[in-house]
Homo-oligomer: A and B are copies of this chain.
């Protein structure tokens, strides 16, 4: 084993939890600057926008505002409402954005054991790079060992994304392990090209199809993964 490669969202930090709190604060901020609707009404409309346009879309609040009936938004400059929502969303998110507590100790132990590490993440370049910076993960990986699907030009679950990174690192699939929370995106494709795989369950969405993806290892956190690397692959990892 020469390298451990990581998914980012819900693998190195919990996306889902913070997004919920950030959305609630954004809605309150939009009401405060003059949107004439209840929290629930705005929430329902916003969730519809996210479903229809995807969670990586960058104009959620603009679309939301446009969809509200005119009497609920006529007393405001829409740009000010959107800015109030965006500022509250970002402030909340950045305030609460923290890597899981075992991430830094695990990466430090891997580095001491001379194991190569990298991030392979799905999403928009700017957004994913900003998350890595805000989470304080850049010094733990090195700024070159970050692969973002939008930047590479290949999106999960296409196995070519994993093949591209292996070529960049100069490694064979069998020398590497990929760790992620999403079975269809993070486990099935690397497994199909012969990489080792570990499904990390702590923030993973329930009701995923475990049989179809067939992860080689299932762990609840990085201490369990460290034990596997020590016992099954002889990686000399210190305790953390």
Residues of A with Cβ closer than 8 Å to B? Answer: 33-34, 75-77, 79-84, 86-87, 125-126, 128-130, 132-134, 138-139, 142-146, 148, 151
25 A-B residue pairs with Cβ-Cβ distance under 8 Å, sorted by A, are A33-B133, A33-B138, A33-B139, A34-B144, A75-B144, A76-B143, A76-B144, A77-B129, A77-B145, A77-B146, A77-B151, A79-B125, A79-B126, A79-B128, A79-B146, A80-B129, A80-B138, A80-B143, A80-B146, A82-B126, A83-B129, A84-B133, A86-B130, A87-B130, A87-B134
List of 10 A-B pairs having minimum Cβ-Cβ separation, nearest first: A83-B129, A79-B129, A76-B143, A80-B143, A83-B130, A83-B133, A34-B143, A79-B125, A33-B143, A77-B146
Chain B residues within an 8 Å CB radius of A81: 143
Taken together as a complex, chains A and B put the C-alpha atoms of A145 and B34 apart, in Å, by 12
How far apart are A26's CB and chain B's nearest CB, in angstroms?
Answer: 12
Copies in the complex: 2
Chain B residues within an 8 Å CB radius of A84: 133, 138
Question: With A33-B138, A33-B143, A143-B34 known to touch, is A132 a contact of B83 (CB < 8 Å)?
Answer: yes
Chain B residues within an 8 Å CB radius of A82: 126, 129
DSSP majority for the A interface? Answer: helix
Please state if B126 and A83 are interface contacts (CB–CB under 8 Å).
Answer: yes
Please state if A77 and B33 are interface contacts (CB–CB under 8 Å).
Answer: no
Taken together as a complex, chains A and B put the C-alpha atoms of A138 and B133 apart, in Å, by 30
A124 to B, closest residue via Cβ: B79
Chain B residues within an 8 Å CB radius of A138: 33, 80, 84
How far apart are A10's CB and chain B's nearest CB, in angstroms?
Answer: 20
Please state if A143 and B87 are interface contacts (CB–CB under 8 Å).
Answer: no
Taken together as a complex, chains A and B put the C-alpha atoms of A132 and B79 apart, in Å, by 10
Chain B residues within an 8 Å CB radius of A77: 129, 143-146, 148, 151
Taken together as a complex, chains A and B put the C-alpha atoms of A13 and B145 apart, in Å, by 41
A147 to B, closest residue via Cβ: B77
How far apart are A195's CB and chain B's nearest CB, in angstroms?
Answer: 21
How far apart are A68's CB and chain B's nearest CB, in angstroms?
Answer: 14
Chain B residues within an 8 Å CB radius of A130: 83, 86-87
How far apart are A169's CB and chain B's nearest CB, in angstroms?
Answer: 14
Contact of A133 among B80, B128, B143, B148 (CB under 8 A): B80
